[in-house]
Amino acid sequence: MYGLDTVYIRTTRKTVREKKQTTSVINNLLEVAARQKKELAPDGVDIIIDWTDFKRDTSVFIPCIDVHKTALEVRRVFKARGWSLYAEARIENGKYGLRVWRID
C-alpha cells in the first residue's frame, strides 16, 4: 500500500539540524511500517494500515481474494487492540475484498 522501499531526501539548503530531523522522521515511519508489515498479509501481500487513525465508526476496504483468511487476520489485530468489528465481503470499484468497520 505504501511504497517505502526507496526514500529520496532533498538536502539542498538545509542545515545539519534539519537534515537530522528529516532523517529521524523518515526512520520513524520506516520502523512503524516494518512493525505493521506483519499484521496483515492476505494472499501473500503485505497491507499496512495506520491503526492510530482508525477511530470508532470508521472503515477500511482490504482488497483480497481469500476473504475468510483476511477476516481472521483482521479479527486477530482488532482483538489485540480490544476493538469490536463488523466485516463484510463485497466488490468495490471492481475489486473483490473485505470492508471492515470498527464499531466499539
Q: Please provide the average confidence, as pLDDT, over all residues in the chain.
A: 76
| Strand runs labelled E in the chain | 59-63, 85-92, 95-102
Does some domain include residue 19? no
Domain count, the chain: 1
pTM (two decimals): 0.62
Taken in order 49, 70, 43, 38, the sign of the CA dihedral is positive
For residue 92, is it within any domain?
A: yes
Residue 87 lies in a domain: yes
Residues of the chain short of pLDDT 70, as ranges, are 1-23, 25-38
Is there a domain that residue 52 lies in?
A: yes
Task: Tell me, yes or no, whether 13 lies in a domain.
Answer: no
Q: Which domain holds residue 63?
A: 37-102
Report how far apart the first and last C-alpha atoms of the chain are (Å, whole number). 26
For residue 24, being part of any structural domain is answered with no
